[in-house]
Structure 1
Amino acid sequence: MSYFPEPPYFLLVAGILVALTSGAAFAATLKQIVQKWASDRAANRLSKLPTAQLILPFLGISAGVGLFLSSGLEVFGFPNWLSYAVAIPLTLLIGLLIWLQLGSMLSLVEREGFQSIDIDSWR
């Protein structure tokens, strides 16, 4: 019989590691897609953007963040059911909003070019 401490410290660390590794995969995949998209100016339609390659790392990030958030709440003394009841809807909502914002940014780049998202030139 193995012993796990009452607050899920292992799940806390595992959640952040899953989120970080999935985030690195998401960033590398997105960079590769955008570079290919930018180099192929003739056919840079957003409808051809391969979101299937991006969805798996994004779901990994969301799962890791949800696990980290729920475990963090449990560390602070919340019961299991309450921590998951808070973490899952919050993670789904934030993940959906970020996914929609990413789509909005990519459609802006499609319409106006990459200079439209260069925030360093705004003064």
Structure 2
Amino acid sequence: MYYYYSPPIILLVAGLLASLTSGLAFDATLKMSVREWSKNKSTRTLAQARGLALLLPFLGICGGICFFLAAGLQIFGFPATLSLGIALPLTLLSGGLVWFQLGRVLQQIEEGGSAALDLDSFT
């Protein structure tokens, strides 16, 4: 008698949808923060705009990606604990690096405006 393993496709789709909807909220919050900062040029630095309002959607993106990766590994036959053991550190590391880079980009925008992000200078 064989046991047929049913892959967690619902978890894969749920992780993808969670990260997409959180990404839309992150996009709207970031645009609103930058627009408010550029309009008012307040004493609050742009790097401080990375507060709780921006952190929550970002954590939603990271959580959705973690579930998506873990479910994707389970579809290929990895056990659930190993899949989560691979997906969690990968998500934490890449999410931390993206959050750090976002702070640096916001600091560059604050110091030199949008012209500070000259992407053609990297060629």
TM-score using structure 1 length: 0.88
What residue number does 1:14 align with?
A: 14
What residue number does 1:66 align with?
A: 66
> Alignment partner of 1:92: what SS?
helix
CA RMSD, Structure 1 to Structure 2 (Å): 1.9
Q: Measured at CA, do residues 87 and 101 of structure 1 come closer, stay the same or move farther in structure 2, by a change above 3 Å?
A: same
What residue number does 1:111 align with?
A: 111
AA aligned opposite 2:60 = G
Query: Alpha-carbon deviation of 1:119?
Result: 2.5
Please say if 1:101 is aligned against 2:87: no
CA distance in 1, matches of 2:60, 2:122: 34
AA aligned opposite 1:21 = T
The aligned length equals 119
What residue number does 1:84 align with?
A: 84
Structure 1: 5+ residue stretches without partners: none
CA distance in 1, matches of 2:60, 2:42: 33
What residue number does 1:53 align with?
A: 53
CA distance in 2, matches of 1:112, 1:8: 47
> Alignment partner of 1:6: what SS?
coil
CA distance in 2, matches of 1:70, 1:94: 15
Q: Measured at CA, do residues 18 and 8 of structure 1 come closer, stay the same or move farther in structure 2, by a change above 3 Å?
A: same
Deviates more, 1:69-78 or 1:43-52: 43-52
What residue number does 2:37 align with?
A: 37
Which consecutive aligned stretches of 4+ in structure 1 deviate over 3 angstroms post-superposition?
A: 120-123
AA aligned opposite 1:49 = A
Identity %: 48
CA distance in 2, matches of 1:101, 1:122: 16
Structure 2: 5+ residue stretches without partners: none
